[in-house]
Structure 1
């Protein structure tokens, strides 16, 4: 408050003696002294902001291209996709990075299933059933025998005193052993139902250990090798059995492994005696569209780069990150993107018709692309997967390298450098403004003193003029 009053006093007093607006004079003089430096900082700040904006646009455009290409590859329409003529028998898929071709006959003889075992019935789900523990041992079961699989660890479930049938089911489920349980209310009463995982070796037996004085768990024990009631085995565990091109195959689950190159089956039903066909489709048309889209997107990026790096007008003229990105894109056509391709198979994007012009832009030779796809469709499809090599992996690598903020030779590194410079310029601008204000305040103070002296001189002159006038009048 004191500072404000003092300043107002000075401002109101300035010019009172001389008639000159000393406050405006001080401001104008300070502005004039700092004008060139302020303008220089403003121009530098504006340029740096343009550099950040342009570099970020290029980096983001490249990232969007890589992500879009990855999304399209993952959809699967750029590689051969298998389909099953009778979808009620099975569906087909292709693992990431794999490709398939041709057609196969498929005959599903039986589906994989898990073991289902019931317990003797009790009154209801809240009936107490004793205390102790139940132990599950895994292997291959039948109505009359059990062969344990020693590679699978036994699972013991502790049953607390006072446990009900519902509590036993919850304890089994809590173990997450591959065996689940639920309580079924049947016409005979409440029954505990055990359900195992798919596969012949996923069968199980149940052993019981009872706490003295709290017997009852023995009713859940079941082992066909020890005279267990065969009627309690509601379903026996089994592997899936099927024929592919007449070759007998099995699977522990209804989702098979890769039974042929690029082919995984999800078995749904049986068709013994009535084989269906599994066939791979050719993605020729979608690959041609994708290549044209790639060329269009690359040309948008290189167009922005060319404008930004123009020696006369470009905001990124001489920028090391921009130059490095241009070099990477310039070699895109000839870079080997399928190093493990067989002899004679396409290995580069130029094999797919991509070429680079003198100005860095790209063109697509559709005739060459079609010729390559006709000659080796499987190898072309293999270039459009999410594997370590291929079109997507190459573009994604360029994008990720360009985005590295810690490398001064990348667009990402350039953005980091410009952002740091922007911060330094902002600090310099603030410091210069403080210096300018200090100078203005100093001049205001000096001018206040000068104005006071002028006012005093004018008062003295006025007094002398009055005295002289009196003297002159006396002489008359």
Structure 2
């Protein structure tokens, strides 16, 4: 119910009066709910940031608390252009001398050239058998599908899985004609391509070719100047030849996995003839992956410092204005959960454990600064990695290692149903309660407003009636005999 501005009977501004009374009644509770909502929302956001920082820190802890990290091996090649190398946990630390005499290579042959285009368009019929080591491919050649191009396509389709492919090369001057060139991806000595033809008609038999046995240097077959259409071997299948610490090794591929346990060598190129003649070798070193451990320690320090930065920003008090200005407090100033967590972490970092001169982080070259962050003395850490790698493993990893102990302090806060989740749930309930209280306040104020309008409108009507009665009585009295009106004196 609404008033109509000034009361008809009383002349009072009922709307303004009711509004003032309603505002006076709702303002304190509304202000209280607004303050509670702002404070709760601020804490909710702050706890979310705090939990996120703890989760990142916990990820760094788990990454460093991994025994496999200390089992990894790094392997380096003295000449990466000669060979690259990788190593796994099975590899033992050591240094080796490697000589690479030749790379493994695959077979490639050029079959007999066909000078007459009409012949190339219809080679005849029969079965083309292609052997590559222990692999055999049979291609049936039929009328209407027996051109060099069709034979090439059939070889490519049938040899796809075995790594056999074909192409056509044509001599632009016509002397070498058009010929099929066959290539294989199967490397190693004895894996040479040979072609035979059975039940052949027409010129199909001309495609048969069995390479001669290679010489000691696996020299390709030269072009026959007297017969430019003759087939030839472009490259022989050949094993890679190398030596490790003077022990000769052959490999059908350019990846050598079993020569040194846990080490994989990928050959990139052979050494020069001068290097081979001079018996020059290329170094291969296998060692603990100290760089990987150092990188993970850096990630741990970075995550800790980031967490400290988040905690500082959430718990600082900023002075505003002069001495009389009210300071601005961050979302989690004085928060018990944050204080408890930071106290537990600091105590654990200062808790001396272990032996052999490695008991706290400072022994690794990781020290606490005045602002609470961590800093790494890189040279000191390098010395520890070099001289005490196994002790470092025991200090950091395992059920009693530093990383597990720190993780044990973080987990109660970040786990499902943990401290922070319980607190954020409680804050969500508080925000829901604020919404409920606002609805209740709105309903109560609406009822108050309706009652006040009803009362003021009733009062206004009564005043109007009384005013009308007063005017009537005044008029009646003025008209009585013997009554002298004041305005007639």
State the TM-score, normalized to the length of structure 1.
0.64
Larger Rg: 2
Structure 1, gaps ≥5 residues long: 1-6, 140-147, 337-343
Give CA deviations for 1:203-248 in whole Å, capped at 9, x if unaligned: 55557788x9x988766566679xxx99544322122111111011
Within 5 Å, give how 1:333-372 maps onto structure 2: 352=364, 369=381, 372=384
CA distance in 2, matches of 1:406, 1:365: 33
SS of the equivalent of 1:432 reads helix
Q: Aligned in 2, Cα 1:474/1:12: closer, same or farther, shift over 3 Å?
A: closer
Answer yes or no: is 1:453 the counterpart of 2:458: yes
In the TM superposition, what whole-angstrom CA distance separates every residue of 1:3-36 from its partner, at most 9, and x where no partner exists? Answer: xxxx8xx365586654342234334423434543
1:120 to 112, 127, 132: 112
Tell me the equivalent position of 1:249: 249
Residue 251 of structure 1: CA displacement? 2.1
Q: C-alpha deviations, 1:166-224, integer Å up to 9, x for none?
A: 53354246x332223333224321424222322336555557788x9x98876656667
Distance 1:321 1:97 in 2: 40
After TM superposition, give the deviation of residue 263 of structure 1 in Å: 4.8
Distance in 1 between residues matched to 2:195 and 2:393, nearest whole Å: 49
CA contact (8 A) 2:94 2:287 kept: no
1:96 CA displacement: 5.2
Instruction: Pick one of 139, 145, 155 that aligns with 1:162.
Output: 145
Residue pairs, 1:99-118, within 5 angstroms: 102-118=94-110
Structure 2 CA distance, aligned partners of 1:321 and 1:125?
Answer: 91
1:93 to 78, 85, 89: 85
Contact 1:129 1:165 in 2 (8 A): no
Query: Tell me, what secondary structure is at the counterpart of 2:337?
Result: coil
The aligned residue for residue 449 of structure 2 is: 444
**Residue 440 of structure 2 is aligned to residue 435 of structure 1:** yes
RMSD, aligned CA: 5.7
* Match 1:42 to one of 29, 33, 38: 38
Is the 1:48–1:421 contact (alpha carbons within 8 Å) kept by the matching residues of 2? no
* Structure 1 pair 128–347 and aligned structure 2 pair: CA distance change class (3 A): farther
Partner residue of 1:407?
Answer: 416
Q: CA–CA distance in 2 between the matches of 1:49 and 1:284? A: 41
Q: Structure 2 CA distance, aligned partners of 1:28 and 1:119?
A: 105
5+ residue gaps, structure 2, are 213-220, 222-229, 317-330, 484-489
Q: 1:19 and 2:19 equivalent?
A: no
**Within-5 A mapping of 1:23-422:** 23-60=19-56, 81-85=75-79, 90-95=82-87, 97=89, 102-122=94-114, 123=117, 127=121, 138-139=132-133, 148=134, 162=145, 164-165=150-151, 167-168=153-154, 170-172=156-158, 175-186=160-171, 187-200=176-189, 202-203=191-192, 231-257=231-257, 259-260=259-260, 263-267=263-267, 268-271=269-272, 272-273=276-277, 274-280=279-285, 293=298, 296-297=301-302, 300-301=305-306, 303-304=308-309, 317-318=336-337, 322=341, 326=345, 330=349, 352=364, 369=381, 372-373=384-385, 375=387, 407-409=416-418, 414=420
Aligned equivalents of 1:131, 1:193: Cα separation in 2: 19
TM-score, scaled relative to structure 2: 0.63
Residues 375-421 of structure 1, C-alpha deviations (whole Å, 9 max, x = no match): 467x69999xxxx99xxxx79x969x9699763348xxx3x556655
